[in-house]
Structure 1
Amino acid sequence: MSDRRGGRADEHPERGTALHLALVLLVAASGAVEAISFTALEHVFAGVMTSNLALLGMAIGRGQATGVTAAVLALTGFALGAAVTARLTRRSGDAGTCWPAPVMFSLAGEAVVLVAGAVIWAAVGGTPGQTARDALQFGAAATMGVQSAAMVAAGRAASPTTYLTGTLATYIVRGVGAGRPDRWAPAQLTALMVGAGISMLLLREARGWAGVLPAVLVVCAILTAAAPMIRMRRSSDGG
């Protein structure tokens, strides 16, 4: 990552590390959301639209109305979340070594929606009816749309957190082909699995609490990304 003056984010170790950790937490959150979306809602993904387009095509080919509805809800929710975030962050610019305020506000909005979803999920004991499942599916996809668009708006200070195919490919190409592996890529790939794994454990052992995990992870990501900047401001004010 590089800053707007052309320097490397690594020149600011505290901020660079904080943002990398925040990205890892967001990836874990997306893994947790995907586990709930695919296994406990309508067997579609909340953030991987390539797969959902394939699932939509298969559902149409099989004549499965339920599958078509679920895929359309996910695609629509994701698109709406991304579009709203794009609107909110269109003038944020590329801050390089920190996430602009509009990006942080967008992530805060994602957290609010995830908290609302967790409340609904807990209220129905983790076994929502069809209407609640549709609403939760739409909301989950919307949060992933927000997160994806927010990371795009963050520019060089971020990377994809809802789909990691490109991250894996880049890690292999740069690591094997160029000898410059990204040391944070394995952490993100692991975080995706850990988030999904813990979510599945909660679905099995404490189903009503499963919705809390993604919200907590996103809130932790926001606090992690904001902490260095808050400390810098306090130091400046104190100086």
Structure 2
Amino acid sequence: MAIKQPRRTEEHQVQSKDGPGRSLRIAVVLLVAASGAVESVSFLGLDQVFAGVMTSNLALLGMAAGRGEGAGVTAAVLALTGFGLGALIGAWCTRGSATATTHWPRRILGILAAEAVLLAAGALVWGLTGGTPGVRTRDLMQFGAGLAMGAQSAAMVAAGQAAAPTTYLTGTLATYIVKGIHSGRQGIWVPLRFAGLVAGAAASATLLKGARAWAALPPVVLMVCAIAIARVPLGSRPHGSAHRS
């Protein structure tokens, strides 16, 4: 009598004995750095709201509303709306795509490429205005920054275990601390993401101070590098051979 095989509950999940290779991990660090650079331009150069940290924007929205500051409310709403729309578009474009732990599917890379183009357009507008866009242009750029970060967040969620959060790291920090206490082991890649966030933010902040017209360029460069590295043939590691962070 033949033994009945259990049905697969995850039809689109590609199982692999390998974990993400070094290329993908480096790409994630670069994406985090890019988001940090975007946050610098968004908060310091636009209207003092974040492009990818929606929890903080909700708090800023409440504070602006409480103080009766219309400009602050508008900026927060633009960022929130852009992020939500970007996440929605990203989710729609990646629905039904297979996931794997060793590579990013074409749809994921396509979303990231579209984000890079959007950021490049923003950097061009920023540069042409000398880093001092008018009110309407600034509002459009605020919306676009949120759109880009929302799309990136959706792409990383769709990538599953082959990726990690790149636009918000509060949960990552908490998980890193808790798992470190429980297991006594800590990986290097989570601290590298934190370092990338700081470095990306510092790069654009420095340019805002000394060469303002170029401040929106670092996110574009970092995005392009992340996509290029993610496409490099991956050196995957055996499952369980190293602690994954």
Distance (whole Å) between structure 2 residues aligned to residue 182 and residue 73 of structure 1: 37
Are 1:23 and 1:161, in contact at CA under 8 Å, matched by a contact in 2? Answer: yes
* Match in the other structure for 2:195: 190
Are 2:14 and 2:98, in contact at CA under 8 Å, matched by a contact in 1? Answer: no
- Partner residue of 1:82 out of 72, 79, 87: 87
Would you say 1:213 and 2:218 are equivalent positions? yes
Distance (whole Å) between structure 2 residues aligned to residue 17 and residue 220 of structure 1: 14
Distance (whole Å) between structure 1 residues aligned to residue 18 and residue 124 of structure 2: 41
Q: How many residues align?
A: 222
Counterpart AA for 2:154: A
Distance (whole Å) between structure 2 residues aligned to residue 4 and residue 179 of structure 1: 31
Counterpart AA for 1:23: V
Please say which of residues 177-186 and 193-202 is displaced more in the overlay: 177-186
Instruction: Structure 1: give runs of 5+ residues left out of the alignment.
Output: 10-14, 230-239
**After superposition, where does 1:89-238 map in structure 2 within 5 Å?**
89-228=94-233
Distance (whole Å) between structure 1 residues aligned to residue 66 and residue 97 of structure 2: 42
Distance (whole Å) between structure 2 residues aligned to residue 135 and residue 85 of structure 1: 20
* Match in the other structure for 1:21: 26
Distance (whole Å) between structure 1 residues aligned to residue 208 and residue 169 of structure 2: 24
Could you state the TM-score of these two structures normalised by the residue count of structure 2?
0.88
Residue 182 of structure 1 and its aligned partner are, at CA, apart by 2.4
Distance (whole Å) between structure 2 residues aligned to residue 58 and residue 226 of structure 1: 43
Distance (whole Å) between structure 1 residues aligned to residue 67 and residue 136 of structure 2: 23
In proportion to residue count, which structure has more helix?
Answer: 1
Residue 94 of structure 1 and its aligned partner are, at CA, apart by 1.4
Are 1:122 and 1:209, in contact at CA under 8 Å, matched by a contact in 2? Answer: yes
Deviations 1:193-238 (A, max 9, x none): 0000111111111110111110110010000000116xxxxxxxxx
Deviations 1:158-207 (A, max 9, x none): 00000001111111111222113122000000000000011111111111
- Partner residue of 1:52 out of 43, 50, 57: 57
Instruction: Structure 2: give runs of 5+ residues left out of the alignment.
Output: 1-12, 235-245
Aligned-pair identity (%): 59
Stretches (4+) displaced over 4 A: none
* Match in the other structure for 1:5: 15
Would you say 1:32 and 2:40 are equivalent positions? no
Pairwise CA RMSD: 1.2
Greater radius of gyration (CA) = 2
Could you state the TM-score of these two structures normalised by the residue count of structure 1?
0.90
